[in-house]
Amino acid sequence: MKLKISNPEKINTKNLCLDGSTIEICYMRHEARINASDNVPYNLYKFVGIKNNSFKANAVFEIHTNIKNGKVQFNIWIGTTMITDYLPIELIKDRNELINRMIAEIKKS
């Protein structure tokens, strides 16, 4: 089973946080890749998070489309460090919850 995010560009948002910082989340693209370890193709949605209008991405988010046990892989890239998490489909489909999750990760960076 595959995840489909309809209109992922609707996740694009600019948020003014209570601490005065601004967080922008922008949809970049849908990518097809091949897993290097087993040569199995997969797809992902890629988003970028920017804090305080910096000229570099503070975080890059990758949401895989393969669904396993009701969850999808959610990679967070901060610099050259990748954190892997698995999020329930319900969280991905709730745009506000997904945006809040991304904002929290960007604020940590």
pLDDT tens, 71-90?
Answer: 999 999 998 999 999 999 99
Domain range holding 37?
Answer: 8-108
Q: How many domains does the chain divide into?
A: 1
Contact 34, 65 (CB under 8 A): no
Supply the pLDDT for residue 37: 82
Is 1 domain-assigned? Answer: no
Is 31 domain-assigned? Answer: yes
Is 2 domain-assigned? Answer: no
Supply the pLDDT for residue 55: 72
First to last CA, the chain: 33
pTM equals 0.88
Supply the pLDDT for residue 108: 82
Check whether 61 has a pLDDT greater than 90: yes
Is 85 domain-assigned? Answer: yes
Is 3 domain-assigned? Answer: no
Supply the pLDDT for residue 1: 82
